[in-house]
Amino acid sequence: MEEQAAKTVCPSCGKDRVLQEDTSRCITCSRVCEQCGQPVRAAQNRLCGVCRRKAERVADQQPCPRCGKPGYLREATGWCGHCSRPRQDKQPPRTCRECGQLRRHAGLGLCSACWQKHPGRPFIRGEHLRDQLANPPAWLDDFVGHVAARFCVARACGLVTDLGRLLQDEHPNSPQALLERSRRPGRSMGPFARTLEDFFTHRGLALPTDQAERLAAGRRKRRIDAVPDPLRPAVAAFDASRMRAQDRARRASTRPRSDHTLETALAILRDLALFLTEHRDKDDWALADVHDIEAFLATLPKARKRRLVVLRQFFRFARSQHLILVDPTQTLTTKEPNGFRGMTLTLDQQRELFRRWTTDERVHPHEALMGMLALLHGASSSEVRTLQITDVDSVSQTVKLGKRPHPVPLDPASWTVLQRCLSHRDAWPTANPHVMVTKGTKAGRSPASTTFLSHVLDDCGYPPRMIRSTRLLDLVNTMDPKLVAAAFGMDPQATLIYLADRVDPGRLPTLPKTAGATPHRT
């Protein structure tokens, strides 16, 4: 009983043993390796079996007379195994047939630097890939030529290597399946997927990806997630109804709302929800009244009309879903005139811009083209963005801008600027059909981004809308607005806003000069 009382459960082995005072474990578990700490069963050993074998191997090693590192010396050479193995002799330097310098040979009689720039590398890589595949696709050679004509040699070889990685896996190798597997997760599907999409869709081998829809869905989700929790379900239901309406409009071939319109509406509702929770202490849409809406609209007076349109649509939807009882926006009005209220350029500013874009060679060709077409021909950013090479008629010196019914004749200054932009485009190794090609679009066929067009005139200090509005305002007030609308492909009502607060002095009646009489505006 005394012996049993002295025993305790060992924390290592779990058996009843007498624990040692220094280790708080039994005597068997207290014997550990001095190097790795593993248990040692034999009482005469200080190291475990693994550490003992390592120590024996280290003891057998000797310093190599050649490299000075410890190793097992070979009897034949007296050196370690690494120094005893025969080395492959390097090829002697040869004269490069491209640069003529005496350097190490890399391939095809070229040095390494010239071989990296050799234009035949992508085609050689494509031939090797064809030899490796048991059933190579028929479009492989066309893809190699596609990337070789649009990318540098290193990037083209990398794209061919990425294609080989997909073709050699166990998944199906149809063009649509390859396109889906090549996409990267995240907001960008990667340059390889974009190249495959451009190649397959241009040849009718696959359908375009839904990358734009995914990005739009991510932007809408981020705006909905920013809404406070109590108000979020109503905003999510409103977004779902708008998406269903957009899908119905697409299937009916009508005019669906764009993704930008839907995202702007969600951003306005997000701002209203944050305003109600932070400044009005309200966490329910049913508690919002007309005073809350008026206070919210007063935060941005210039955006009152746009915000009120979205709020009316939302509260109309909320009332139909029985989320609220009374529509707080029913009695609100915009209180804004429909006339043009934007800023325009003075005559001196227009002359300064004209001289800048026609005489200064330091100005980028894209800025000069965008500015001249907006200043003299009233071209919008979307018209310049979608302008293609086929829209330019070099014989009659005309261009096809957007939805305008007739080609636009260019003056000598505008034609010179256009030729300068085309020369800049010819310097790129691109097959993009658009006139304005950027670094990000030279390898594909898509137009320049709207963000690029919105900042292309930053150096001149004036936005494109101000320059275009100056030209439209001058044309509408000096010509018949219906003729301007017909020439620009616009709705007749769109040109009438530029006639707001316009008085034609020649049409005013001649009134007798009497005391207190003032002319009446018509």
Q: Under 8 Å CB-to-CB from 341, ≥6 apart: which residues?
A: none
* Distance (Å, whole) CA 157 – CA 385: 31
143 pLDDT band, cuts 50/70/90, is very high
pLDDT in tens, 20-69: 777 777 877 777 787 787 777 777 777 887 888 888 888 888 889 888 88
Choose the weakest-confidence range: 154-168, 330-344, 452-466: 330-344
Residue 519 has pLDDT above 50, yes or no: no
* Distance (Å, whole) CA 306 – CA 265: 9
Q: What is the mean pLDDT of residues 240-260?
A: 92
Residues 350/375, Cβ–Cβ less than 8 Å: yes
* Average pLDDT over the chain, rounded to an integer: 87
Q: For residue 324, how many C-alpha atoms fall within 13 Å in the half-sphere facing its CB?
A: 21
| Confidence (pLDDT) at 516 | 43
Please give the structure tokens belonging to residue 494. Answer: 């769109």
Q: Under 8 Å CB-to-CB from 283, ≥6 apart: which residues?
A: 228, 230, 231, 276, 277
* Distance (Å, whole) CA 267 – CA 225: 11
> Which residue type, as a one-letter code, is found at position 128?
H
Question: In this predicted model, which residue has the larger pLDDT, 522 or 35?
Answer: 35
Q: How far is CA 472 from the centre of its chain?
A: 33
Q: What is the mean pLDDT of residues 218-232?
A: 95
Cα 388 to Cα 415, 428, 474, 522, distances in angstroms: 15, 15, 28, 44
| Confidence (pLDDT) at 45 | 79
Choose the weakest-confidence range: 105-109, 308-312, 409-413, 486-490: 105-109
CA dihedral 296→301→303→304, nearest 10 degrees, is 60
Residues 181/173, Cβ–Cβ less than 8 Å: no
Query: What pTM value is reported for the model?
Result: 0.68
457 pLDDT band, cuts 50/70/90, is very high
pLDDT in tens, 156-211: 999 999 999 999 988 888 999 999 999 988 888 888 999 999 999 988 999 988 88
pLDDT in tens, 359-387: 998 999 999 999 999 999 999 999 999 99
**DSSP element (H, E) containing 392:** strand 392-393
